[in-house]
């Protein structure tokens, strides 16, 4: 078992009322799964992804990740956990504008305190693997959307995470670029990486082995 969510509730208080963002979420994810989360806008997809990615807290329930009780961990330990095992891919790529492709890829390795020589080797491997060696010295603004997302995925993968969390990874791409990224996810999943993606696209959701539908914060 990679992760397990038990009776997760998340809410905000507004105007004296409690508004639930997530309501009684129960989810078990095995290593190597490819899960697609679907639902209309405001249904809680991204919130759920952030909770799974430990970027957002929840108000009630239990969350176990690789047998660690996330809900009892302090922030520093939680950060260590997601730093070690989780990679993030975003709809808007979220590359650091002031860094080149190569430096963007290197960033997670710096935070994981890899030595400079190791970092250089790992970045070189990743540039090779994603066939973007020629782009290594370019800044994000000099790349197309598809290329930026490729770098985004490469950055998520560079520290060899067990889990990739992708929030509408093809949302800003054209259909061809989107398909390439989804094929890449499929390939990564085949190599054993667990993937949880949020998507509006039925077609992209089909790449997953399991689809979770959310409505008003509740799994249906």
Partner 1 sequence: MMNFLKMAFRRLFRKGEHAFTRIISLAAGLAFGMLLLSEVLYYYSYDSFYPDADRIYVVHENFKMDQSSDKLESHPRVSGAIAPGLQAEVPGIEAATRLNSLGDHVVYTDDLNSYDASVSLADEHLFDVLPIPMVSGNPREILKSPMTCMVSQELAENIGGDVVGKVISIKNYPDKKLTIGGIFETLPENTNYTYDVLISMVSTEQFTWDGTENWMGNDRYYACVKLSPGIKPADLVPAVRAMQVKHQDIEKLEEEYQGIVLQYSFEPIKQIHANNVKDMIIILATIALAVLFVSLMNYILLTMGTLVTRAKSSAIHKTCGAETKNLQQMIFSETIVLFGISILGALLMIWALKPIAEAQWGHSLVSLLNPYVILPLVILIVLLVFVTSYFPGRFFSRIPVATAFRDYQQKRGRWKLVLLSFQFVGATFILTVLVIVTLQYNNMKNADHGYVAKGVYYGSTQGMDGNKIATVLNELRAMPEIETVGLGHDVPISGASGNNVRSTDGKRELFNVADFYEVDANYLSIMGIKVDEGEDFTSNQAVTNDVLISKKGAELLKLNNGWTDGVVGKQINITEHGSTSIRGVFPDFVVRSISDPDVRPSVFFYLPEEKFEELKIENPSTSFNIMVKAQPGAGDGLMGKITEVFNLGFPLDDAEIKSLEAEQLDAYKSEKGFRNAMLIGNIIILLVTIIGLLGYTFNESARRRKELAIRRINGATLYDILKAFISDLEFVAIPAVLLGLIGAWFTADKWMQNFAFKVPLHWGLFVGCSLFILLLVALIAAINYTRTANQNPVDALRQE
Q: What binding mask, one character per residue, do residues 123-162 give for partner 1 by CB under 8 A, x or -?
A: --------------------------------x---x---
Of 32, 53, 145, 171, the one binding partner 1 (CB under 8 A) is: 53
What whole-number distance in Å separates Cα of residue 193 and Cα of residue 162?
A: 5
Task: Determine, following the binding rule CB under 8 A, whether residue 90 of this chain makes contact with partner 1.
Answer: yes
187: tokens are: 């390939």
Stretch that binds partner 1, among 29-37, 94-102, 142-150, 191-199 (CB under 8 A): 94-102
3-state SS of the chain?
CCEEEEEEEEEEEECCEEEEEEEEEEEEECCCCEEEEECCCCCCHHHHHHHHCCCCCCCEEEEEECCEEHHHCCHHHHHHHHHHHEEEEECCCCCCCCCCHHHHHHHHHHHCCCCHHHHHHHHHHHHHHCCCHHHCCCCHHHCCHHHHHHHHHHHHHCCCCCEEEEECCCCCCCHHHHHHHHHHHHHHHHCCCEEEEECCCHHHHCCCCEEEEEECCEEC
- For partner 1, the closer CB: 142 or 175: 142
Task: Determine, following the binding rule CB under 8 A, whether residue 85 of this chain makes contact with partner 1.
Answer: no
Task: Determine, following the binding rule CB under 8 A, whether residue 107 of this chain makes contact with partner 1.
Answer: yes
Are 200 and 122 in contact, with CB atoms under 8 Å apart?
Answer: no
- For partner 1, the closer CB: 12 or 211: 12
What whole-number distance in Å separates Cα of residue 188 and Cα of residue 48?
A: 22
What minimum distance in Å lies between the beta carbon of 95 and partner 1? 8
What minimum distance in Å lies between the beta carbon of 107 and partner 1? 5
Of 14, 16, 17, 98, the one binding partner 1 (CB under 8 A) is: 98
Site for partner 1 in 158-187 (CB under 8 A): 159
Of 36, 47, 148, 194, the one binding partner 1 (CB under 8 A) is: 47
62: tokens are: 């239990």
Stretch that binds partner 1, among 23-31, 61-69, 91-99, 199-207 (CB under 8 A): 91-99
Task: Determine, following the binding rule CB under 8 A, whether residue 65 of this chain makes contact with partner 1.
Answer: no
Applying CB under 8 A, the residues found at the interface with partner 1 are 46-47, 50, 53, 55-56, 76, 79, 82-83, 88, 90, 94-99, 103, 106-108, 110-112, 155, 159
């Amino acid at each position: 078992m990679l992760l397990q969510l038990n009776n997760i509730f998340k809410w905000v208080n507004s105007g004296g009322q409690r508004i639930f963002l997530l309501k009684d979420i129960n989810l078990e994810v095995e290593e190597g799964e490819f899960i697609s989360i679907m639902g209309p806008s405001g249904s809680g997809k991204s919130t759920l992804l952030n909770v799974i990615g430990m970027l957002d807290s929840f108000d009630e329930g239990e969350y176990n990740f690789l047998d660690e009780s996330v809900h009892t961990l302090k922030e520093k330990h939680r950060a260590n956990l997601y730093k070690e095992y989780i990679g993030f891919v975003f709809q808007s790529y979220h590359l650091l504008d002031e860094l080149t492709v190569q430096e963007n890829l290197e960033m997670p390795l710096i935070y994981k305190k890899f030595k400079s020589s190791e970092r250089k080797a790992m970045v070189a491997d990743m540039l090779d693997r994603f066939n973007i060696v020629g782009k290594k010295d370019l800044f994000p603004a000099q790349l197309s959307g598809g290329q930026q997302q490729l770098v985004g995925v490469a950055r998520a993968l560079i520290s060899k995470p067990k889990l990739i969390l992708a929030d509408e990874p093809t949302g800003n791409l054209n259909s061809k670029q989107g398909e390439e990224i989804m094929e890449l996810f499929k390939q990564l999943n085949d190599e054993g990486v667990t993937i949880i993606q949020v998507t509006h696209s039925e077609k992209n959701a089909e790449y997953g082995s399991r689809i979770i539908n959310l409505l008003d914060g509740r799994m249906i």
